[in-house]
Copies of this chain bind each other. A is one copy, B any other.
Amino acid sequence: MGYLMGSNKIIASAPGKVTLFGEHAVVYGEPALVMSIGKRVYVTTELRNDNLVKIVASDLQLPGVSVTFSGDELIIETDYGKTLSAVAYLRGAIDIVSKYLGIFKGVNVFVRSEMPVGAGLGTSAAVAVATVLAYSKALGYDLEKREIARLGWEVEKSVQGIASPMDTSITTYGGVIKVKLLGGNNYEVKELQASTSLPIVIGYVEREARTKDLIMKVKDLMSRHPDLVSNIIKIIGILVEKAEKTLMEGNLMLLGELMNINQGLLDALGVSNKRLSDLIYAARTAGALGSKITGAGGGGCVIALAPNNQEGVEVAMRLSGGLTMRTSLGGTGAMVHSHEPHTS
């Protein structure tokens, strides 16, 4: 990338995530299953001899952006008059690690993402966690996973004001977690035995509404039909418990079937739309064992479980108008690399 790096270069990566079961119901206190995926964010840090923090972010679905800041002054080194929101997470991570360790050193940070930003795949959490890991390691510290996850969460909270620890947990640990809201800002995050890697296809269509709006939409429906909606939410809760067991047993046929039932229930909650529905049924017609919305819906991502026909399912979803990505469920959590691997 045109920057010479010394031998004190640290490369860290962290995976994206999908909500496999239980979105929306999680808002009402039911558990959700969240899994890491095979697509990752790579953050490389190299300490400098001055106090500058220099950030180069490429492949974040914007043309390469280079940003330098010192104190509160921000210097954007491209022609484009906008920075990535991801830059805020990088800078936040540097700040929070410095405060936590009581050390600050200038650093060059290079970021590369295999995933789009803002699609609901947890890219910002992966950026935060990978940066926490790389920068702390560059400063000479081997933080525990527990510390990395907590600092990553602090970064998300500092940037967003409010954040769940879900994304930062799953990107730190990888595998599967079960999340449950306990009221207020309290969450319960349970790490499950990481399962074998499951081939999936992720489809993406433009979002018509924000997550917040979709949560409000379900709340509205709940207020008009509490007898129906509260029962649908409860069924999703039962389904998540079954899905947890099924995932641990590795029964993919059954897992796909549960995905389809979950999808119907999300459809009943009114968070699907024509484009999502097109992708979901295209995937099933092409042989996916199951397919559903992942995340809030109203556009965004669809996930299809396709152990035997990943390519065919991907083609079908593209023909139905989606951007697609082949990957797997259950990617390794945040880690340090001796050298940056090639893109999978």
Interface residues of A (CB under 8 A from B): 221, 224-225, 227-228, 231-232, 234-235, 238-239, 242, 254, 257-258, 260-270, 272-274, 277-278, 280-282, 284-285
Cβ contacts under 8 Å, A224 to chain B = 254, 257
Q: When chains A and B are docked, how far (Å) is the Cα of A265 from the Cα of B235?
A: 11
| Distance in angstroms between the alpha carbons of A278 and B270 in the assembled complex | 16
Complex CA distance for A269 and B261, rounded to whole angstroms: 7
Contact of A268 among B234, B238, B242, B261 (CB under 8 A): B261
Flag if A268 contacts B263 (CB, 8 Å).
yes
Q: Is the CB of B274 within 8 A of A267?
A: no
**Shortest Cβ distance from residue A218 to the other chain B in the assembled complex, whole angstroms:** 12
Q: Chain B nearest CB: distance from A25 CB in Å?
A: 13
Tell me if A270 and B281 are in contact (CB < 8 A).
Answer: no
Cα of A272 to Cα of B261 in the assembled complex, Å: 11
Q: A221-B261, A225-B242, A277-B278 given. 20 additional CB < 8 A pairs?
A: A221-B257, A224-B254, A224-B257, A228-B238, A228-B239, A231-B231, A232-B235, A261-B268, A263-B268, A264-B265, A264-B266, A264-B267, A264-B269, A264-B272, A265-B265, A265-B268, A268-B268, A274-B284, A277-B277, A278-B281
Complex interface: chain B residues within 8 A of A262 (CB)? 268
Which residue in chain B gives the minimum CB-CB distance to A316? B274
Say yes or no: A263-B267 contact (C-beta < 8 A), given A228-B239, A231-B235, A238-B227.
Answer: yes
Question: Which residues of chain B are within 8 angstroms of A282 by Cβ–Cβ distance?
Answer: 274
